[in-house]
Amino acid sequence: MTNQEDYFYDFAMKLVLEAGLVLKISIEAKKTIKEKQGDWDLVTEYDQKIEDTIVGKLKQEFPNHKFIGEESTGANLPELTNDPTWIIDPIDGTMNFIHCFPHTCVVIGLAINKEVRIGIVYNPILEQLFTARKGRGAFLNGRPIKTSNIQDISKCLVCIEPGFLKVASLKNKMFERIQLITKKTHGVRTLGSAAITLCYIALGAVEGYHIEGPGISTWDIAAASLIISEAGGVVVDRVTGKTVDIMNPRAIGACNDKIAQELVKIIHEADRLAELNESQEKF
């Protein structure tokens, strides 16, 4: 990491901590809640306010940099170029934020030459600050963290996102995926924040995670995928099993590649079952 990147990191850290304070103060406030794609995909005025503040300050400091943010970029994802690109989720876990469920966070990542170099995920409610810089390890509140070294899928705790059962095109597949993952692992959990869940893999608290669905995008996984890889884990594409494309996250996060590939297989099998059931229903 260059001195310049150290400066980027320090600047981003200041913004994350300031935004975290806003999130912490506002979690119990009355909020205006709007649905984006359905009642499983919500947004509040705080999402927009926090993103505007973060992007405004970054633009002022780094006028030549690019930006990808959940609220300003929306569905029209720009191409990721070699330019320094800040990737921001002002509130990841908005549903949790609305319900005062304490897994919600501010996320900032920075990609340079299409590679994530800086990742910061801050949950100010539980005072958990996850950080990573390329090649320098991953940290929780300044303490180094490592993924769990479990190699046996049946001993894994795996997180999933049942909210996507509400999406008609994914319903059957999600149902089979949840069922099969539950059968083949120690257990299943759901936290409702992609960034925090990926950081929990980095921490060694869970071994795997699968997320895919409408609205899930670069900002949900970019920063945390660096935190996982710096902690010894991986984030792979659930179709190819190769390193995930942060611009097209249909992701499996895992404590190591063996577990990631097991999860790839389970999801393939679940999807095959879902397709079989669908074709039988037609007759």
Residues lying near ligand LIP in the complex (CB under 6 A):
40-41, 70, 89, 92-94, 161, 163, 192-194, 215-216, 220
* Of 112 and 209, CB closest to ligand LIP: 209
* Of 90 and 112, CB closest to ligand LIP: 90
268 neighbors 275 (Cβ within 8 angstroms): no
CB of 94 to ligand LIP, least distance (A): 4
Is position 91 annotated as part of the catalytic site? yes
Is position 275 annotated as part of the catalytic site? no
**Residue whose pair of structure tokens reads 């389970």 in the numeric block:** 266
* Of 40 and 139, CB closest to ligand LIP: 40
Q: Residue 115 CA to chain centroid, in angstroms?
A: 16
221 neighbors 249 (Cβ within 8 angstroms): yes
Is position 10 annotated as part of the catalytic site? no
CB of 2 to ligand LIP, least distance (A): 30
Q: Compute the half-sphere exposure of residue 132: CA atoms within 13 Å on the CB side of its CA.
A: 29
CB of 39 to ligand LIP, least distance (A): 11
Give the integer Cα–Cα distance in Å for 258 and 103.
28
Which residues are paired to 132 by β-bridges? 119, 138
CB of 281 to ligand LIP, least distance (A): 27
Token digits for 186?
Answer: 């120690």
Is position 94 annotated as part of the catalytic site? yes
Residue among 92, 161, 176, 230 flagged as catalytic: 92
* Of 36 and 134, CB closest to ligand LIP: 36
* Of 163 and 253, CB closest to ligand LIP: 163
Token digits for 154?
Answer: 């049946």
CB of 37 to ligand LIP, least distance (A): 9
Q: At what angle do helices 3-26 and 45-61 cross, to 10 degrees?
A: 160
214 neighbors 129 (Cβ within 8 angstroms): no
Is position 89 annotated as part of the catalytic site? yes
Residue among 44, 85, 94, 185 flagged as catalytic: 94
Is position 257 annotated as part of the catalytic site? no
Residue among 41, 71, 89, 262 flagged as catalytic: 89
124 neighbors 96 (Cβ within 8 angstroms): no
Token digits for 269?
Answer: 């099998």
Residues tagged active-site: 70, 89, 91-92, 94, 220
